[in-house]
């Protein structure tokens, strides 16, 4: 059964320093760290004619710290400042087999991207994520409209425009802005991933590292 996703997404143009300040504010407000910084890999699928994208829908396979899910997202409602849409999430055991299966019915991967995510929960309020993508930093607040508006004000985000575009859309547009064409992948450099993995294996926080480098884009149609 579909559930309603209500989300406020905000850009953090100050990069890692602003993200660190936001996390300090969250802790100062009594937020609970629910999941440490971890890498997510996301693949969006569509039919060859772009039917899902034309309808404003999305189908995503996500792999995150050994957990895998398939998510369907419906069209965004046009009458709200926040991003409101139907969502169905299904836990899966084998993402590669699932992508292969979906390919047999005509769905293909049209865009793949990575991000590092840290997750918090405000008491009596929304879930909050702090996200580093290869193209910049963002935060997402997910809960009821009232919870999001209240938390955004407490975090100093209320005066900022909300980002209604998906990460896939944002990153594909950033590739085009940089003159890299309609890329199909936005990934961190392998050496950056290796540093993060080494820090995690040693039991030390991986940290936020340097400002995100230019994304690695490869040809094809973005989605």
pLDDT tens-digit readout, 159-176: 999 999 999 989 888 888
Q: Which helix (H) or strand (E) holds 25?
A: helix 15-28
Alpha-carbon distance 123 to 178, whole Å?
A: 40
Average pLDDT for the chain: 89
Buried b (16+ CB within 10 A) or exposed e, 207-216: ebeeebeebb
| Alpha-carbon 105 to chain mean position | 26
Which range, of 63-77, 80-94, 147-161, 171-185, averages the lowest pLDDT? 171-185
Rounded to 5 degrees, what are φ and ψ at 35? Answer: -155, 125
pLDDT tens-digit readout, 111-133: 999 999 999 999 999 999 999 99
Residue 72: pLDDT band with limits 50, 70, 90: very high
Alpha-carbon distance 91 to 82, whole Å?
A: 26
Rounded to 5 degrees, what are φ and ψ at 57? Answer: -105, 165
Kindly state the tokens that stand for 68.
């895998």
pLDDT of residue 210 exceeding 80, the answer is no
Residue 197: pLDDT band with limits 50, 70, 90: confident
Q: Across 59-63, 179-183, 210-214, which has the greatest mean pLDDT?
A: 59-63
User: Are the CB atoms for 16 and 211 separated by under 8 Å?
Assistant: yes
Average pLDDT over residues 170-197: 84
Alpha-carbon distance 73 to 100, whole Å?
A: 20
Alpha-carbon distance 172 to 12, whole Å?
A: 18
Question: Which pLDDT value is given to residue 181?
Answer: 62
Rounded to 5 degrees, what are φ and ψ at 153? Answer: -65, -45
Alpha-carbon distance 65 to 180, whole Å?
A: 30
pTM above 0.85, yes or no: yes
Question: Which pLDDT value is given to residue 206?
Answer: 46
Alpha-carbon distance 135 to 119, whole Å?
A: 19
Average pLDDT over residues 66-71: 95
Average pLDDT over residues 169-195: 84
Question: Which pLDDT value is given to residue 211?
Answer: 45
pLDDT of residue 103 exceeding 90, the answer is yes
pLDDT tens-digit readout, 19-51: 999 999 999 999 999 999 999 999 999 999 999
CATH 2.40.320.10 assigned to domain 3-201? The reply is yes
């Amino acid at each position: 059964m579909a559930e309603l996703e209500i989300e406020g997404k905000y850009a953090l143009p100050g990069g890692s320093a602003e993200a660190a300040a936001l996390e300090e504010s969250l802790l100062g407000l009594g937020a609970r760290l629910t999941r440490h910084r971890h890498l997510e890999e996301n693949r969006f699928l569509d039919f060859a004619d772009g039917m899902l994208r034309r309808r404003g829908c999305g189908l995503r396979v996500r792999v995150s710290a050994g957990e895998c899910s398939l998510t369907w997202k419906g069209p965004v409602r046009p009458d709200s400042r926040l991003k409101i849409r139907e969502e169905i999430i299904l836990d899966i055991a084998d993402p590669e087999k699932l992508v292969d299966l979906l390919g047999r019915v005509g769905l293909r991967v049209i865009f793949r991207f990575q991000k590092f995510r840290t997750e918090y929960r405000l008491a009596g309020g929304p879930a909050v994520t702090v996200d580093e993508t290869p193209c910049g930093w963002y935060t997402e607040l997910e809960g009821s409209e009232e919870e999001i508006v209240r938390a955004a004000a407490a975090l100093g985000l209320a005066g900022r425009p909300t980002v209604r575009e998906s990460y896939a859309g944002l990153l594909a547009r950033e590739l085009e802005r940089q003159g890299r064409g309609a890329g199909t992948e936005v990934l961190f450099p392998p050496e950056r991933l290796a540093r993060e993995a080494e820090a995690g294996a040693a039991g030390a926080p991986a940290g936020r590292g340097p400002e995100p480098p230019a994304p690695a884009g490869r040809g094809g149609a973005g989605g």
